Amino acid sequence: MRLFLTALTCAMMALPAVAQTSLNLTLGPADSVETINYSCDTGAALRVQYVNAGPNALALMKINGAMRIFVGVVAGSGARYVSGAEVWVTKGGTALLENQLKDTKVRCSQSDDAQRE
């Protein structure tokens, strides 16, 4: 019986954990949500949602079909966001998506007016 319980415990620990996470940010009067569409030199289109809530600056976008959350970090000029090895840098109507592990760079430009919520 003890061997069975040990085997069952090990089998349960080997199963992938499934968790659902949600993120709630309270937006104050000075906070904003803005959606901007970009056309990139690879022919891809990116739709980026920028969320500014107090000290939190996020950029949300799909990369290779997966939703990614980029967190704002200090930048000399423009804005810089990071998600894993991906770095999203914007300045004016242009942007650059870099993968620091693969050493790839994709240049993008704003393709229409921003939508402010």
Express each pLDDT in 10-59 by its tens digit.
444 555 556 676 767 677 778 999 999 999 999 999 999 999 999 999 99
* DSSP string for 41-82: TTS-EEEEEEEEETTEEEEEEEETTEEEEEEEE--SSSEEEE
Q: Sign of the C-alpha dihedral, residues 48, 44, 88, 81?
A: positive
For the segment 55-107, what is each residue's pLDDT rounded down to a tens digit? 999 999 999 899 999 999 988 888 999 999 999 999 999 999 999 999 999 99
All structural domains of the chain: 30-116 (2.40.128.200)
Supply the pTM of this predicted model.
0.75
Q: Please count the other Cβ atoms lying within 10 Å of the Cβ belonging to residue 36.
A: 22
